[in-house]
Structure 1
């Protein structure tokens, strides 16, 4: 994904420096989004001066330890990643322990087989009525019950009620997905993790960002079909995806992955990684941070000059 972003920004003169550029570009974009929060934390908690844009976006250009909070069973650590990079497992919020499901939902769940969850969170849907119609029709064709999370996209407008469809507002995924046989969602990292932890075969309908990546990883692990980009969402593709998820071997792989993830604790893992890389004593001199933006200009100028 990052290489594709870099290609779009610097033209077709790849492959020179494409992977270095991709990390620097994305690193700078991420820093722009989180800079205010980091500086607020530095100011109030650490009593440190703010970090500028140019000196802050430097993570990809320095020997800085990183901890990635995803499951190594879903995305194994690449062999060329060094000792200062750790893949520690997903982090989960325990929201189910304080959740009291509404009585109508409990009765509906008890009235039949486990349903398929379909929802896209807060992401906007161009034609929610049409997408709802496709979802309901696909459930009907495949003989499945379904929970449609209305979300912010406006899903769930039905011409008439269907007894095999339950329209849902907000509900903790860590509770809800345990009640489901499979899930269809946008592919956010947290939603993907919650579905896999619940041993749910997963279909991802990516909208943007890292969502296509998670869709590809889910398919590569055999726990879901190929992702369905939202602009290609159709009745035929959703029916095929549901049928794929209902294959016994897919459920077996989902259970296998969920069991592997049980032993992971992303919070403890990232704390251990932090302490392991923490210097035992302060450096005698504090090196001045270099600007990854200025470093970025060098490869770009060279790359733009490629013939």
Structure 2
């Protein structure tokens, strides 16, 4: 949860609220993430701020219904990023040069539109727009570069963790057993490998965008692409700490807001057929899975039919299953029409989900045990979190989905202790107000920028080189400080601003060195694997006149890379969408059963 506010924090927060900021939301990601963060935008709008949401055109109606301003990042509803419900850009790791070109062109277009979203007046030409702050999802890659150009604060919000931790692996990674390396080490480096490999894909496009659109200095790949961690960019994660507590190794730049409330139950009169089914159904199971994500919908429905007939289990199927001809026509299976899910939740006993964030929120809100069948992206991660929290059974793989397996999971969820755990966590969730806490987190980190520049400091390496904003930001206006009446909110440090704390000898000196007894050389190989060390070797070779010395450097650095890859050999991406698109690394995962 966000830290408790002190009286001074509350006083400063009130002053920031009165500033009437102009805030741009850069949202690139899955539908659940975008919808959750839009709720935070609504809360900021209530406080008098001007809020613009820059996202893909398929979300235009969702944004406009909330009263927020909309700015399109792409006018094509079939844009691959939007169509795949993902922030990953297809084609950048393809061997087909034409596909690489198309992917690069799409990414460059999105980056430029993100910049326009910060500075362009939009449809209302008479109402200028210059962002005072940026709130973005991790995969909106332009965020930190636009913030650097305008010298304004950046805040990351997401429904999935992107901050390295020992406690659990990156949601797009799957740690497999049998490794000699400590599991906590594998968890930690999974974030660094995802970060570096994704950075490798987009580096050239990002660098071109910085130099020719934003007129910023060339980006150094040698230091890696992990800017958000290097520059302590504030993060707020929008999930309940009852489901996934904040790891001990996350610093105070990272908050967990708590449960983001969904819509309240609205009055609804069910059809006679639905009313009759609910009266006769004993402990019904609500099935909320994305039909398009199933590799074999007919096989899935046959298993549902077998479980229903053999074990007398009642099923309510999502309305999307109306499109499938093989839906069982039996009294114990009912296909919903446009019936509101919120209205149905109190009337079911178990929720059957793929681990989508929105359905997990529903299960938590109404205190329902959950059976999970993870299919794509971060679904294996959240499915595992549900089981660990005592909210549901062990996740079922699609390849193992048979009636006996489902019935075993159903019986587990019907146990008294599981039902009581679900009800208890639901009560905890009712005390959380994720949207309000997310706004408090945003204010708190703006407040943390209030510092007084030391007039006596002489070490230039310790002071970021700042560039003048194109237009003065509201946040740069004077704000009364606890120590001086001349304090301003400090311009954040960003990629092209070199500081002594970012030297290669001080890169992420985490628990790995001391607690795990890992040597410092191996540590540097772990935290800067593959792409970074290869680039390091390449750049040294370019600037080294002595060919013998150059060969020695190349051999040393590439050996670090080999060592890092050996350590990371059991880290694999757990997403069918990500496989073959996020990196060129030879990773495998039991969850990656298909290729696009």
What TM-score does the superposition give when structure 1 sets the normalisation length? Answer: 0.77
Structure 1 residues 106 and 80, CA, compared in 2 at 3 Å: closer, same or farther?
same
- Residue 226 (structure 1) shift: 0.3
Match of 2:317 among 143, 148, 159: 148
Question: Is this contact kept in 2: 1:196–1:258, CA < 8 A?
Answer: yes
- Residue 182 (structure 1) shift: 0.5
Structure 1 residues 110 and 4, CA, compared in 2 at 3 Å: closer, same or farther?
closer
- Residue 112 (structure 1) shift: 3.7
- Residue 57 (structure 1) shift: 6.3
Local SS of the residue matching 1:151: helix
Dislocated runs of 4+, deviation >6 Å:
12-17, 28-33, 50-57
- Residue 170 (structure 1) shift: 5.1
Matched, 1:106 2:275: yes
- Residue 282 (structure 1) shift: 2.6
Distance 1:29 1:98 in 2: 49
Matched, 1:84 2:291: no
Structure 1 residues 219 and 7, CA, compared in 2 at 3 Å: closer, same or farther?
closer
Local SS of the residue matching 1:97: coil
Cα displacement string for residues 268-290 of structure 1 (whole angstroms, at most 9, x for unaligned residues) = 11111111111233326854457
Q: What is the correspondence of 1:1-307 to structure 2 with a 5 Å cutoff?
A: 1-2=169-170, 5=173, 21-27=189-195, 58-94=227-263, 96-97=265-266, 101-151=270-320, 157-158=326-327, 161-169=329-337, 171-278=339-446, 279-280=449-450, 281-283=488-490, 287-289=494-496, 297-298=531-532, 302-305=560-563
- Residue 197 (structure 1) shift: 1.4
Distance 1:30 1:99 in 2: 46
- Residue 236 (structure 1) shift: 1.2
Distance 2:280 2:492 in 1: 68
Distance 1:218 1:188 in 2: 11
User: Structure 2: where are the runs of 5+ without partners?
Assistant: 1-168, 202-212, 451-487, 503-527, 535-557, 567-596
Distance 1:25 1:102 in 2: 52
Cα displacement string for residues 257-278 of structure 1 (whole angstroms, at most 9, x for unaligned residues) = 1111111111111111111111
- Larger relative contact order (C-alpha < 8 A, sep ≥ 6)? 1
Distance 2:419 2:296 in 1: 31
Distance 2:175 2:363 in 1: 32
Distance 1:152 1:201 in 2: 22
- Residue 124 (structure 1) shift: 2.7
Structure 1 residues 18 and 221, CA, compared in 2 at 3 Å: closer, same or farther?
closer
Distance 2:187 2:340 in 1: 38
Structure 1 residues 263 and 284, CA, compared in 2 at 3 Å: closer, same or farther?
closer
Question: Is this contact kept in 1: 2:284–2:314, CA < 8 A?
Answer: yes
- Residue 164 (structure 1) shift: 1.6
Question: Is this contact kept in 1: 2:238–2:260, CA < 8 A?
Answer: yes
Structure 1 residues 25 and 106, CA, compared in 2 at 3 Å: closer, same or farther?
farther
Cα displacement string for residues 112-167 of structure 1 (whole angstroms, at most 9, x for unaligned residues) = 434111231254322222211211221333332210125379557245x2122111
Cα RMSD of the aligned pairs, angstroms, is 4.0
Distance 2:290 2:436 in 1: 28
Distance 2:366 2:199 in 1: 33
Partner residue of 1:39?
A: none
- Residue 14 (structure 1) shift: 6.8
- Residue 61 (structure 1) shift: 3.2
Structure 1 residues 100 and 201, CA, compared in 2 at 3 Å: closer, same or farther?
same
Distance 1:234 1:264 in 2: 37
Distance 2:244 2:382 in 1: 9
Give the number of aligned pairs. 290
Question: Is this contact kept in 1: 2:316–2:336, CA < 8 A?
Answer: yes
Structure 1 residues 3 and 207, CA, compared in 2 at 3 Å: closer, same or farther?
closer
- Structure whose alpha-carbon radius of gyration is higher: 2
Q: After superposing the two structures, state which structure 1 stretch, 215-224 or 266-275, moved more.
A: 215-224
Structure 1 residues 86 and 162, CA, compared in 2 at 3 Å: closer, same or farther?
same
